[in-house]
Amino acid sequence: MIPAGSIGAAAPFQQCPAGSLEEDQPSQYHTKNGYVSTWIEYQESLNNSSTKNSMYPAYVQPINSEPYGTLLSKHGHISGNNEKPSNDDCGAIFRKIQCSTNPLHHPSFRHVRCNDQGCPVCYVKFASRLADSVTERVQGFKTVYRNSKPYHLILWGAKVEGADRPYADLRSSFREAKRLLEIMGATSSVVWYHPYRIKPELKDLLRHYRRAHKLDGRAGFWKLAHDDVLELGGVERYIVYAPHWHAIATGFLMKSSEFCDVTGGAGYKKRRYLEYEKDVHEVAHYISTHACMEFGKSSVRYYGVISYRMMAREMVEEKIKDVLCQDCKSHMEEYEVDEKGEYYRDSPRGPIIRKSKDKVTEKIKYYLYWKKGQPKPDMGDHSQCLITRFCDR
């Protein structure tokens, strides 16, 4: 059980388990003039002056009752939760990367980034870098423990009567997660703390928005909430307090029913095995986009045999390689462009082409992992165990 003496009032996460994302049932939305059954009708009803701001009070009244940031200040901040970007130019395009032979071969852009985890624009880049780090360590772990099979796990703590904030800070939440993981039998785990989930009453609206705009599954609920597609005023308006953890774990776990009895109400749910590197990165990136954060502290923890105390690593090689076109294998070049991604057109004779790099390169680092306390493996016998990490270009 979680120690008594905590403050606040928490809804038990087990009553609202994660994993309900697969549900896709149609529903109706209440307005002042009656019920509307589709997203288009719903949008039209909001534009009508007689129904504007008169949506179903289950999610409208709480939205306007407190200033933005009240919930986040009470239960913890998450990635991308700032009301506004850190800088006015966050996300602006300033470079274009294209093939030296054919400019139409998979061009890409560089964007201005502020490196602030809370920025609603740049949090995606921050989450990507964190996912790179997690993926590298998990892949290194798999070279040391070859029979291990990591999987995505969701777990939640037991309900504390009369307490709505069982974890005073990020450190205490991770301490509880470590205790629960040890009880269930996890031998290694990479853990994130999530204080919130998307409000159930908004999920149908987000599904209809996704269909109406023909978005694929990559546009998850949290991505839509960060983008404020319903124009509610920020990600805080989409969430409700429901503390839980996500983990990439290994080990033979006890039955969930037995785990619930032993812990007095805690639970867990396995999502899927992460067989390939891309699976690990995909899950780690998604989890990191809305993980709890504290200034100056990491949003992720490593426990068990994957921890820094149990597993060592060393960078054994670093290379600089040219980035080649995916289609024709020609060199990629970098150009200065305006905010629209177009060449500067400040000349009457046409656009001015400003090349910033003749060849785009990337840094590649190779790491070797081994069990701490044992001799470092000989490179001649373990070169196939090197973990490759691509750094920013």
Residue 290 token pair: 């809305």
Task: Looking at the structure, tell me whether residues 294 and 367 fall in a common domain.
Answer: no
Contacts of residue 28, defined as CB under 8 A and 6 or more positions apart, other chains included, come to 35, 36, 37
Inform me whether the pLDDT recorded for 177 exceeds 90. Answer: yes
Kindly list the strands in the beta sheet with 387-390, ordered across the sheet, starting from the edge strand earlier in the chain. 311-322, 361-371, 387-390
Task: Looking at the structure, tell me whether residues 186 and 221 fall in a common domain.
Answer: yes
Q: How do residues 18-76 score in pLDDT, each as one tens digit?
A: 333 333 333 343 333 333 344 444 455 445 534 333 333 333 333 345 677 788 888 88
Task: Looking at the structure, tell me whether residues 261 and 317 fall in a common domain.
Answer: no
Task: Looking at the structure, tell me whether residues 296 and 160 fall in a common domain.
Answer: yes
Task: Looking at the structure, tell me whether residues 277 and 370 fall in a common domain.
Answer: no
Task: Looking at the structure, tell me whether residues 286 and 265 fall in a common domain.
Answer: yes
Task: Looking at the structure, tell me whether residues 142 and 257 fall in a common domain.
Answer: yes
Is 91 part of a structural domain of the chain?
A: no
Q: How do residues 137-166 score in pLDDT, each as one tens digit?
A: 999 999 999 889 999 999 999 887 655 667
Task: Report in angstroms the alpha-carbon separations of 97 from 119, 186, 326, 391, 392.
Answer: 25, 44, 13, 17, 14
Is 289 part of a structural domain of the chain?
A: yes
Task: Looking at the structure, tell me whether residues 377 and 248 fall in a common domain.
Answer: no
Task: Looking at the structure, tell me whether residues 227 and 318 fall in a common domain.
Answer: no
Q: Among all chains, which residue has been given the structure tokens 């289950």? A: 58
User: How far apart are alpha carbons 287 and 178 in whole angstroms?
Assistant: 18
> How many CB atoms within 10 Å of residue 6?
16
Q: How do residues 334-393 score in pLDDT, each as one tens digit?
A: 888 887 777 766 555 556 666 777 788 888 888 999 999 998 887 665 555 677 776 654
Q: How do residues 64-112 score in pLDDT, each as one tens digit?
A: 456 777 888 888 899 988 888 888 888 888 888 989 898 888 888 888 8
Q: How do residues 185-217 score in pLDDT, each as one tens digit?
A: 999 999 999 999 999 999 999 999 999 998 887
Is 42 part of a structural domain of the chain?
A: no
Q: How do residues 243-259 score in pLDDT, each as one tens digit?
A: 999 999 999 999 999 99
The helix/strand/coil state of 98 is strand
Task: Looking at the structure, tell me whether residues 158 and 293 fall in a common domain.
Answer: yes
**DSSP-derived secondary structure letter, 157:** P
**Structural domain tally of the chain?**
2
Which has more confidence, 329 or 38?
329
Residue 151 token pair: 């999987």
Which has more confidence, 163 or 319?
319
Find the domain containing 202 and state its range: 7-19+69-82+118-309
